[in-house]
């Protein structure tokens, strides 16, 4: 009995290892494909709405993609407009950065005894040896941008094809299961689509709310081009945990470079703290909620694994993919124990709510 249990455990472990190896080495192919599947699930209600208005499947699918492109183009255009305003202040920012560098040189001279001339000599030595590295970085950046452009086109093509041929793909999945499990497979496909739509749709609404909150807070704090930094912080929310901290750090550094006023920096930090509290206790429970029904430990773990396997795209895709995996586990008898493990602990009646709300709730 113990030998059989051990063999089954080893088989499951080997399957997980093999899956991660395939995901890692198949990144170039699988990342755009996965984005296409997820976006197709998100845009499916739009396509169905257009079809109910009398459009055929092909035109409705194409218009869904066009709507997505126009939405992204609108955000990019708004960012470009704000960047144009930011570029006007580059001379002032450059002057302020020069003052900060001069202050840093004085600090090094006073505390480490290195004169300005010696510091300048060290900088020149570093610069002379770094020209080739800089050229290499430019080449790498250009190739990366080209790769991103190609992947973006592939994602759009994949999304259109998944929406257009959704009935064919659904029939294929149903053909893989036994007849007695066809109904269960249909439920899994339906729930996976609904969970992805509700989670990503709620996340999009929350990002818009964050744009508004950050925009108001940064404007009150006195940050120049507050809308640009508000959009930046909101968009970076797509990268869980690290995104909002990165956006706020960039805002703090730019505010310090623009004005040099510590009051503005303090205002940015206060805005970040207030928005995070509002997001955790109001926006997430109301808009996103526990859509995926996943244990917070595994939410963090899957984000770390996603970053290790696919980088930033993995961090964005990890949570909804884990939600889909949990639905499969909940409806597949051999995997139900794993679904139980991934899911949150069953709370007593009257203890429902956001994880953080329950965490700090006093015991009666």
Q: Summarize pLDDT for 161-178 with one digit per residue, the tens.
A: 999 999 999 889 888 888
Res 349 pLDDT > 50: no
Which pair of structure tokens corresponds to residue 122? 């060290």
DSSP state of 363: P
Note whether residue 337 is domain-resident: yes
Res 128 pLDDT > 60: no
Same domain, 300 and 335: yes
pLDDT of residue 111: 65
Which pair of structure tokens corresponds to residue 240? 């869980």
Note whether residue 106 is domain-resident: no
Determine what percent of the chain falls in helix, strand and coil, rounding each to the nearest 5.
85, 0, 15
pLDDT of residue 93: 62
Query: What average pLDDT does range 65-80 have in this prediction?
Result: 87
DSSP state of 314: H
How many CB atoms neighbour CB 286 within 10 A? 13
Query: What average pLDDT does range 103-119 have in this prediction?
Result: 67
Note whether residue 147 is domain-resident: no
Which domain does 233 fall in, by range? Answer: 184-289
| Residue linked to tokens 């704000």 | 82
CB 224 within 8 A of CB 258: yes
CB 242 within 8 A of CB 218: no
Please state whether the predicted TM-score (pTM) of the whole model is above 0.75.
no
Nearest to 248 by CA among 261, 236, 259, 263: 236
CB 275 within 8 A of CB 217: yes
CB 232 within 8 A of CB 310: no
Note whether residue 93 is domain-resident: no
CB 287 within 8 A of CB 209: yes
Averaged pLDDT score across all residues of the chain:
78
Same domain, 283 and 327: no
Structural domain ending residue among the three candidates 250, 274, 289 = 289
Same domain, 271 and 213: yes
- Number of independent structural domains in the chain: 2
pLDDT of residue 109: 67
Same domain, 306 and 260: no
What would the pLDDT profile of 270-320 be if each residue is shown by its tens digit?
988 898 888 877 777 776 656 667 887 888 888 888 888 888 888 888 888
Top pLDDT among 105 and 198 is at 198
Same domain, 232 and 317: no
Least confident among 13-22, 81-90, 213-222:
81-90
Pairs from 281-290 (Cβ < 8 Å, separation ≥ 24): 281/354, 281/356, 281/357, 283/206, 283/209, 283/210, 284/206, 284/354, 285/353, 285/354, 285/357, 287/202, 287/205, 287/206, 287/209, 288/199, 288/202, 288/203, 288/206, 289/202, 289/354, 290/344, 290/354, 290/355
Structural domain ending residue among the three candidates 257, 289, 321 = 289
Note whether residue 100 is domain-resident: no
Query: What average pLDDT does range 31-57 have in this prediction?
Result: 91
Query: What average pLDDT does range 34-45 have in this prediction?
Result: 91
Which pair of structure tokens corresponds to residue 153? 């086109």
What would the pLDDT profile of 77-98 be if each residue is shown by its tens digit?
877 777 766 666 666 666 666 6
Same domain, 201 and 282: yes
Res 136 pLDDT > 60: no
Note whether residue 107 is domain-resident: no
HSE toward the beta carbon, residue 6, CA cutoff 13 A: 3
What pLDDT band is residue 99 in, cutting at 50, 70 and 90? low
pLDDT of residue 36: 92
Q: How far apart are the first and last CA of the chain?
A: 45
Same domain, 188 and 237: yes
Cα-trace Rg, the chain? 25
Top pLDDT among 151 and 121 is at 151
Note whether residue 117 is domain-resident: no
DSSP state of 293: -
Same domain, 249 and 337: no
Structural domain ending residue among the three candidates 289, 308, 323 = 289
Note whether residue 90 is domain-resident: no
Nearest to 331 by CA among 173, 168, 199: 173
């Amino acid at each position: 009995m113990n030998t059989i249990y051990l063999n089954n455990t080893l088989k499951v472990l080997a399957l997980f290892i093999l899956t991660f190896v395939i995901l890692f080495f198949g990144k170039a192919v699988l990342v755009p494909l996965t984005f296409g599947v997820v976006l197709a699930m998100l845009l499916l209600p739009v396509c169905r709405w257009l079809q109910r208005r009398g459009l055929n499947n092909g035109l409705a699918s194409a218009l869904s993609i066009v709507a997505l492109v126009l939405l992204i183009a609108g955000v990019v255009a708004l960012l470009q407009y704000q960047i144009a305003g930011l570029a006007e202040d580059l001379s002032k920012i450059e002057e302020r950065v020069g003052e900060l560098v001069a202050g840093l040189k004085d600090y090094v001279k006073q505390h480490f005894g290195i004169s300005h001339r010696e510091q300048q000599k060290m900088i020149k030595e570093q610069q002379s040896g770094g020209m080739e590295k800089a050229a290499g970085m430019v080449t790498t950046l250009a190739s990366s941008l080209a790769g991103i452009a190609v992947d973006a086109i592939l994602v759009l093509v994949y999304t259109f094809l998944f929406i257009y041929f959704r009935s064919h793909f659904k029939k294929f999945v149903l053909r893989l299961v036994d007849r007695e499990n066809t109904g269960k497979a249909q439920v899994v496909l339906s729930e996976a689509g609904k969970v992805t739509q509700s989670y990503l749709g709620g996340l999009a609404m929350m990002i818009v709310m964050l744009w508004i909150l950050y925009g108001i807070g940064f404007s009150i704090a006195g940050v120049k081009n507050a809308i640009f930094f508000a959009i930046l912080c909101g968009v970076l929310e797509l990268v869980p945990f690290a995104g909002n901290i990165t956006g706020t750090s960039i805002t703090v550094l730019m505010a310090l470079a623009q004005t040099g006023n510590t009051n503005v920096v303090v205002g940015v930090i206060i805005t970040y703290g207030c928005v995070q509290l509002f997001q955790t206790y109001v926006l997430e429970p109301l808009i996103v909620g526990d859509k995926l029904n996943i244990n917070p430990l595994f939410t963090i773990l899957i984000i770390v694994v996603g970053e290790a396997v696919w980088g930033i795209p993995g961090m964005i895709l990890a949570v909804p993919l884990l939600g889909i995996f949990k639905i499969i586990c909940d409806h597949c008898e051999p995997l139900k124990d794993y679904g139980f493990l991934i899911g949150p602990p069953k709370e007593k009646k009257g203890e429902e709510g956001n994880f953080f709300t329950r965490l700090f709730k006093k015991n009666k």
